[in-house]
Structure 1
Amino acid sequence: MQQVNSVKHSDASQVVASIQGLNKSFSNKQALCDVELQIKSNQVLAILGSNGAGKTTLINTLLGRLKIDSGEISIFSSQPGSLAVKQQTGAMLQVASLPETLKIREHIQLFQSYYPNPMDYQKVIAYAGLESLQERFSKKLSGGEKQRLLFALSICGNPKLLFLDEPSVGMDLSARQSLWKAIRDLKNQGTAIVLTTHYLEEADSLADEIVLLKQGAIIQRGTNEQIKACVSSTTIRFTTPSYPIDFNSVAYLISHDVSGKYTAIQTNELNQTLISLLTKYPELEDLSVSRAGLEEAFLELNKDQLAQSKTGKSVINKGEAA
């Protein structure tokens, strides 16, 4: 596996949570395997993985909702689930139910009362984009509006550590953009944020560091650019010509795909492939070049890990532990 360099953290960042050798199993099936992480202030840590990779299990162990089998977790120098940690932590989880007979305003005020130093009410409302919905009962909320309320409740305590488990599910584009702005603002104020998401665009936009989980193990970590750099291929895209192209004659071509009016080819030797392609077909139009994005890297790294596991090789890069 390609080595990813250590992520460079801001000097102002401090470790708020440390996870060492974390293991968790359910009915003899390992859900987390020797996980090692540090969570730092002023940063967004995105934890990515397919369904069943262990993302939600990891968050639940950090919240003290699940007992670990082995390893150590320290959050604010205390144990997960302790009162000292709860008073400084917020969480927005995938599965949550709310009393339907309370208004948004009442929900927020109730949650504020749980914390010694709650966030200002107007600030909570503004971050969640709920200014016009304060008097609406929660049973009247759409899926996206409920997500915004759950986000508001997660920040009521003015948390120093915030867990967001698939926070933008069900939100429209405008609400999602507002959520991203709020997350960036909270990070810039010093909050450590742990984000899980299936929207890779969301992780690409928000994360300072990305961790890829596969079957409970960390298979790669690094900045967005470092993760993308693990995939060496580049895509060349152009308008599909009216005549056939002999793809077998194009140097260093990995694959090709014709979709509608466009053709896309992948290569790991951009210059040689461009020379080969344009020498044979100099009249190609609308040609563009793009490096692999986070989605391509995510798919490639998961594929590499699966191949390695079949050969019995280690899938965890110990040298990458933070």
Structure 2
Amino acid sequence: MTNLTVVSVKNLQHSYGEKSVLKGLDFSLQAGRVYGFLGANGAGKTTLINLLLGRLKASQGSIEVLGNKAGSAAAKAKVGAMLQIGSLPANLTVIEQLNLFASYYKSPMSVSKALRLSDLNAHENTQFSKLSGGLKQRLLFAIAIIGDPQLVFLDEPSLAMDVNARQQMWQTIRQLKAQGKTVVLTTHYMEEAEALSDELFILNKGKIVAQGSPSELSHSMQLSEVSFASDLSEEAITALLPEWQWQIVAGKATTQCKAPSMLLKQAFAQGLSCDLLSVKPSSLEQTFISLTETAELKDTASANSASDKSAKEQAA
């Protein structure tokens, strides 16, 4: 099952009028894996999900979902989706909602199983309008999996959930993966992306700027987080070690760097004691920031180069 391609995207481009949102994406997704798509607001994540679901028609390129055209009846029968903005009939109870959506599929999951997997047994007779934000998210998740889909899209699934509910959802996602299902996840929680994703795609301004497992992406940046106890201010430590950007929180100085040995050599030369010293691989969050910043710099350099070339051609 893990060698089965469930999504194939080739030269995918999409624009809203003159505004280009996605710019030539190429990737494929295999069965039995969890894929995380990360990007700042406006990176193109929501547009991409809508295209994969067939809710939008691509300006250019091709999309195949489970061997069918995205959005076709054959694809929809095997796909479940939990979108970031979702609403349901206010006066229907949880169990009524699940029975309704289960009726749309030929071979749905049992309602009792969906209730258990989404931890909603205690709320099955509660109307949608009376559910808390976190419970509404759980119900939307249950609806996404009620059709027993092969491919599940989860857009910010744990939004508004407490810690216990989030952990329960993570466990269910892992169960779906173990059953050979494919999960496409978008999230702003770096901990969630790192805990669940087999592979990550980093989107920036409509392009995939990095792809790989969380550990592979962190290693590719070769960044380390260096921290030590300090009673100096941020300004003072920056004056002593100006090549790095520092943060001082609760008496701990922290920075990210590619050469920790060089940093520490300079710190000791400046007479810093570096008590409670810690050197560890950079977090996924810092890797994400670094990757997007690098992409921004490349885009700026490319734009400047094109502008300079145009100016020289006009002058000639």
Does the aligned pair in 2 maintain the 1:74–1:80 contact within 8 Å?
yes
Question: For 1:205, which of 184, 195, 201 is the aligned residue?
Answer: 195
After the TM superposition, which residues 257-272 of structure 1 pair with which residues of structure 2 at under 5 Å, given as runs? 257-272=247-262
Which runs of 5 or more residues in structure 2 are unaligned? 305-316
| 1:233 CA drift (Å) | 2.7
Measure the CA separation in 2 of the matches of 1:233 and 1:248. 22
| 1:275 CA drift (Å) | 4.1
Measure the CA separation in 2 of the matches of 1:247 and 1:102. 59
Is 1:98 the equivalent of 2:88? yes
After the TM superposition, which residues 36-51 of structure 1 pair with which residues of structure 2 at under 5 Å, given as runs? 36-51=26-41
Amino acid at match of 2:44: G
Is 1:53 the equivalent of 2:43? yes
Is 1:142 the equivalent of 2:128? no
Measure the CA separation in 2 of the matches of 1:241 and 1:67. 57
Amino acid at match of 2:260: L
| 1:174 CA drift (Å) | 1.0
Measure the CA separation in 2 of the matches of 1:95 and 1:222. 28
The residue matched to 2:62 in structure 1 has which SS? strand
Does the aligned pair in 2 maintain the 1:253–1:267 contact within 8 Å?
no
Amino acid at match of 1:284: C
Residue 17 of structure 2 is matched in structure 1 by: 27
Is 1:87 the equivalent of 2:77? yes
Does the aligned pair in 2 maintain the 1:241–1:284 contact within 8 Å?
no
The residue matched to 1:169 in structure 2 has which SS? coil
Measure the CA separation in 2 of the matches of 1:278 and 1:134. 62
Residue 182 of structure 1 is matched in structure 2 by: 172
The residue matched to 1:139 in structure 2 has which SS? helix
Question: For 1:284, which of 270, 274, 288 is the aligned residue?
Answer: 274
Measure the CA separation in 2 of the matches of 1:242 and 1:73. 55
Residue 63 of structure 1 is matched in structure 2 by: 53
Measure the CA separation in 2 of the matches of 1:267 and 1:312. 25
Please state which structure has a larger fraction of its residues in helix. 2
| 1:273 CA drift (Å) | 2.8
**Higher mean C-alpha displacement, 261-270 vs 19-28:** 261-270
Instruction: Say if 1:249 and 1:139 are closer, same or farther in 2 by CA, change over 3 A.
Output: closer
Measure the CA separation in 2 of the matches of 1:176 and 1:246. 39
Instruction: Say if 1:239 and 1:98 are closer, same or farther in 2 by CA, change over 3 A.
Output: same
Does the aligned pair in 1 maintain the 2:256–2:282 contact within 8 Å?
no
Residue 307 of structure 2 is matched in structure 1 by: none
Amino acid at match of 1:109: N
The residue matched to 1:254 in structure 2 has which SS? coil
Instruction: Say if 1:63 and 1:246 are closer, same or farther in 2 by CA, change over 3 A.
Output: closer
Is 1:164 the equivalent of 2:174? no
Instruction: Say if 1:284 and 1:70 are closer, same or farther in 2 by CA, change over 3 A.
Output: closer
Measured against aligned partners, the alpha-carbon deviations of 1:214-239 in whole angstroms (never above 9, x if no partner) come to: 11111111110111123223222111
Q: How many pairs does the alignment contain?
A: 303
Instruction: Say if 1:258 and 1:29 are closer, same or farther in 2 by CA, change over 3 A.
Output: same
RCO comparison, higher one (Cα < 8 Å, 6+): 1
**Higher mean C-alpha displacement, 148-157 vs 241-250:** 241-250
Report % sequence identity.
Answer: 36
Amino acid at match of 1:117: S
Measure the CA separation in 1 of the matches of 2:201 and 2:4. 18
Amino acid at match of 1:187: K
| 1:313 CA drift (Å) | 6.7
Amino acid at match of 1:293: S
Measured against aligned partners, the alpha-carbon deviations of 1:159-189 in whole angstroms (never above 9, x if no partner) come to: 1000001111111111111111111110111
| 1:123 CA drift (Å) | 1.6
Instruction: Say if 1:113 and 1:228 are closer, same or farther in 2 by CA, change over 3 A.
Output: same
The residue matched to 1:312 in structure 2 has which SS? helix
**Higher mean C-alpha displacement, 214-223 vs 272-281:** 272-281
Amino acid at match of 1:68: A
The residue matched to 1:18 in structure 2 has which SS? strand
In the superposition, the TM-score normalised over structure 2's length comes to: 0.90
Measured against aligned partners, the alpha-carbon deviations of 1:65-87 in whole angstroms (never above 9, x if no partner) come to: 00111111111111111111111
Measure the CA separation in 2 of the matches of 1:86 and 1:226. 33
Instruction: Say if 1:267 and 1:215 are closer, same or farther in 2 by CA, change over 3 A.
Output: closer
Question: For 1:239, which of 217, 222, 229 is the aligned residue?
Answer: 229
Is 1:124 the equivalent of 2:120? no
Does the aligned pair in 2 maintain the 1:53–1:213 contact within 8 Å?
yes
Does the aligned pair in 2 maintain the 1:253–1:268 contact within 8 Å?
no
